[in-house]
Structure 1
């Protein structure tokens, strides 16, 4: 596909003007015809512009399907469905994925988001708000800056030297060029810092899910962690901890069901009940930022289900990755099931409670709800692809999505993009890297994550402890590939993906740390946009 998404974004706006002027010899003016120049005039239009910035991240190109499709089977814990292509990232059109449709979809989703953020940042400032609503105007702009920083973050960690576009491109012939790695990181931190100064710590129920100050600080900490700027990473992650807005969801009773529910509620669309005790699911105290989905089919059924964030409010995740009702595209490795420690003996759990959220085994039933068609039905290996090793992917796909007749489409489960446990583990890592955790505060936060699971605390913080805890706590959340990459790029590498099972023979140092910039984009930019150094 030769069409450039950056130009598509321009054409979406200029098409208004082209249509209006095509028959100008008739000298007819359409009084009610709206363009980008006359639409953004009211407070309501400012809100619409802000809301539109959230849609691309939940779209099919990003976390509505393709991000997971690419990065589930990119590490050593999850396999793709096709024998011989178990690590899809390295085997699909290997060495020439610049034009790969999934690769382009990621780029497409990112720059649709950047375009919408730039539109909001350009069109909202001239709008006259009531004096009492001026803080609301500033919040809208801060939300747009947070989201632009978020989109640029993914552009950086996926493509290394992408363009930094800070305006709405109005001329379809206009081209862009690469930014340096430093320039991209500087823009990310500039946007996020600006957002953090204005965004509120929380919202009322009507606005839950919007970007918060905590989300901006967490992303700043993460951005600095990726840059190996440990002191800055520690500062911003500590701000999230000290805000007292977030906490780990912990068991409300000393039963195995409670310990499992306290973790599992972070990956289900509905609150979990254990006896009379309730564990809040979406947008709970552990959620720092999550992508909002719903099973509302009014927008576009049939056919709209294929366009999350546009024709659908739900994702395609169950359709592609829930082996019970979907296409069963991926499955965990046996090693993924084996990484979990023994469970608390007092709870009669064989394994760490987190195992029972992440991994399906033949000991599992698909639903405990008597009204479900899967009630008391066992999980079988037939629900996993041919590459399965006797286990299935459970996190995010239990209970099985069946809330609407169109299921497994319109998956309502929110994708938790930043969880508080991730913040604690990143903080622990920054502490270790900065001064070997001299004050023990990094160890204390890592042990909070372990205590929530009911497993013994450890006495020394080490790289091995951090690697292991991120492995089990964040399994199935599409973070491990990026962890392996950044750990392999340390001055003294913590890991070598080239020597890891399932990656050996596929992953190439100096090549697979990033994806190639899509060739169609390079061609459309007439030589101004270059391929990144990892794919030249």
Structure 2
């Protein structure tokens, strides 16, 4: 079920934020606390991640969901030609300039959302239309969403090596404050995110306490899971282990029995889901067409042709060879869609064709594939976006426990994830896999065996491997490589191995971070400083 979903109507009803330049234009249409409607305001905060008062910013919002894949060794930009999303092509070659439109849209949209949340929090602090306990929960929900927005841009624009964080805007700005908020340092920004999530954790209920018609709201476990991720990115292994343990010990979540269930549309908000953004179909503002706001990012990765996608973020051979091949890993079936596969969802086989001239390895992401039987008109899809799931928490726990010297506990968490993979089906009911020859031993009992590495370094490498194959295509790979301190070496090696420009120009100390949009630097009279090297 998808109850907390996108709604253009809600955005228009609230009319919260309409700003062209987030540091120099006053907010317009702020919520009036005299007639504040708490429930609509909080629902509108969820909807902020899908909608915007500028038509084409709805389109641009999907970029953040693909950058972690496209900038890594897991996927090519893809598409039909160089003119298909050229801004992302420039980014994957690490030729990015501060004027890059994709860089600008991701940065500005997330601050747009933050302004939205600040306005909602101001209204909630004075609201009298709900009980104190409900208002307290609503504040927790909005603080969680604000922390998530900051986390998204901090992972992309923060610079650990140069101690650069982000401008922290935690209230509705006065006119006198416009253009006068500088960047905080690296840990101050992360500590703001952490404190927001701790506040949310204290206010939010557990997932099982919500009624069925409230599925999709932020929960205590979601705050704890994002705290785990925050500590992972700041290398605070003690707290990373502690917060992952909170999620695990809550018994609110478990691995789905089958790997395929994680991405099945009828299993959304399922047992493994800790937090996901729920999408539905709505009128695309100003056009008269029906579009899912998720369709922009999910359809972008669908095959072209019959599926109505754009063939972007095509998976790489390098990712495929990372999976264990002999015997095979069943997750291959549910991660990759191959050229030549037959879609049998309507009873008559339709061959999945190669999509686009910049997708050299001719593969797409099965996790986001809509078979013809389920595909909405014009290639639309209402796939939810999974922000964080239980397998990720188990692997973060494994990594932290290993760094803390708890080898046995780390192995156990890692092998829990591998056991699910080992026991998963490798038969896709919607297609015949023709584009890949599986080893005859795919169904061997010893496939995806338990890891027995007994030293910290070997186990760390095993956990990093598992993150890559388990979470492939889920927008984490590039950011994982950065925090692991090996983005440059991995991407330059990729470029050399496959004779491609992708990753070749990566410069250590520079390309771990995106540039701050140049016009934001200019609008602040350089109070917002640029990232190193740009």
What TM-score do the two structures reach when normalised by structure 1?
0.79
1:316 aligned counterpart, secondary structure: helix
2:28 aligned counterpart, secondary structure: helix
Question: Partner of 1:154 in structure 2?
Answer: 152
2:309 aligned counterpart, secondary structure: coil
Question: Partner of 1:118 in structure 2?
Answer: 118
Question: Partner of 2:218 in structure 1?
Answer: 211
**Aligned partners of 2:23 and 2:523 also within 8 Å:** no
2:35 to 3, 28, 41: 41
Is 1:327 the counterpart of 2:325 in the alignment?
no
**Aligned partners of 2:218 and 2:275 also within 8 Å:** yes
- CA distance in structure 2 between the aligned counterparts of 1:67 and 1:180, rounded to whole angstroms: 23
- CA distance in structure 1 between the aligned counterparts of 2:463 and 2:488, rounded to whole angstroms: 12
**Aligned partners of 2:41 and 2:120 also within 8 Å:** yes
* Structure 1 gap ranges (5+): 14-34, 251-261, 272-280, 306-311, 344-349
Q: Deviations over 1:171-226 (max 9, x none)?
A: 18722211111210110011000000111111222111111111100000110110
Question: Partner of 1:347 in structure 2?
Answer: none
Deviation at 1:67, TM superposition (A): 1.3
2:484 to 484, 487, 506: 487
- CA distance in structure 2 between the aligned counterparts of 1:165 and 1:401, rounded to whole angstroms: 46
Is 1:267 the counterpart of 2:263 in the alignment?
yes
Is 1:471 the counterpart of 2:468 in the alignment?
yes
Is 1:287 the counterpart of 2:273 in the alignment?
yes
Is 1:364 the counterpart of 2:305 in the alignment?
no
2:314 aligned counterpart, secondary structure: strand
Question: Partner of 1:229 in structure 2?
Answer: 236
Deviation at 1:535, TM superposition (A): 3.5
Is 1:378 the counterpart of 2:351 in the alignment?
yes
2:388 aligned counterpart, secondary structure: strand
Q: Deviations over 1:416-443 (max 9, x none)?
A: 11011000001100111122x24x1111
Is 1:408 the counterpart of 2:379 in the alignment?
yes
Deviation at 1:107, TM superposition (A): 0.7
Question: Partner of 2:63 in structure 1?
Answer: 66
Question: Partner of 2:527 in structure 1?
Answer: 528
Question: Partner of 2:489 in structure 1?
Answer: 496
Distance 1:320 1:518, change over 3 A: same
- CA distance in structure 1 between the aligned counterparts of 2:132 and 2:178, rounded to whole angstroms: 34
- CA distance in structure 2 between the aligned counterparts of 1:463 and 1:494, rounded to whole angstroms: 16
Distance 1:68 1:442, change over 3 A: same
1:139 aligned counterpart, secondary structure: helix
- CA distance in structure 1 between the aligned counterparts of 2:316 and 2:274, rounded to whole angstroms: 29
Q: Deviations over 1:455-489 (max 9, x none)?
A: 2111126122011101110111110000000001x
2:525 aligned counterpart, secondary structure: coil
Distance 1:89 1:282, change over 3 A: farther
Question: Partner of 2:105 in structure 1?
Answer: 105
**Aligned partners of 2:117 and 2:146 also within 8 Å:** yes
**Aligned partners of 1:11 and 1:172 also within 8 Å:** no
- CA distance in structure 2 between the aligned counterparts of 1:457 and 1:293, rounded to whole angstroms: 37
Q: Deviations over 1:209-262 (max 9, x none)?
A: 111111100000110110010000000011000010100011xxxxxxxxxxx2
1:289 aligned counterpart, secondary structure: strand
Question: Partner of 2:47 in structure 1?
Answer: 55
- CA distance in structure 2 between the aligned counterparts of 1:514 and 1:298, rounded to whole angstroms: 33
Q: Deviations over 1:286-326 (max 9, x none)?
A: 00110111134487762574xxxxxx554312432211321
1:422-441 alignment to 2 at 5 Å? Answer: 422-435=392-405, 437-438=406-407, 440-441=408-409
Distance 1:135 1:241, change over 3 A: same
Question: Partner of 1:506 in structure 2?
Answer: 505
Higher RCO, 1 vs 2 (CA within 8 Å, ≥6 residues apart): 2
2:360 to 388, 394, 397: 388
**Aligned partners of 1:318 and 1:401 also within 8 Å:** no
- CA distance in structure 2 between the aligned counterparts of 1:531 and 1:298, rounded to whole angstroms: 35
Deviation at 1:80, TM superposition (A): 1.4
Deviation at 1:52, TM superposition (A): 2.1
**Aligned partners of 2:144 and 2:223 also within 8 Å:** yes
2:175 aligned counterpart, secondary structure: coil
Question: Partner of 1:167 in structure 2?
Answer: 171
- CA distance in structure 1 between the aligned counterparts of 2:122 and 2:230, rounded to whole angstroms: 25
Question: Partner of 1:355 in structure 2?
Answer: 332
1:418 aligned counterpart, secondary structure: strand
Distance 1:429 1:313, change over 3 A: same
RMSD of aligned alpha carbons: 2.7
1:193-204 alignment to 2 at 5 Å? Answer: 193-202=198-207, 203-204=210-211
Q: Deviations over 1:365-397 (max 9, x none)?
A: 224244xxxx4212232x354432243332212
- CA distance in structure 1 between the aligned counterparts of 2:370 and 2:403, rounded to whole angstroms: 37
- CA distance in structure 2 between the aligned counterparts of 1:353 and 1:86, rounded to whole angstroms: 35
Deviation at 1:88, TM superposition (A): 2.7
Distance 1:184 1:392, change over 3 A: same
Deviation at 1:81, TM superposition (A): 2.2
* Structure 2 gap ranges (5+): 1-18, 52-56, 159-164, 423-447, 496-501
1:305-344 alignment to 2 at 5 Å? Answer: 305=291, 313-323=293-303, 324-342=307-325
Distance 1:299 1:100, change over 3 A: closer
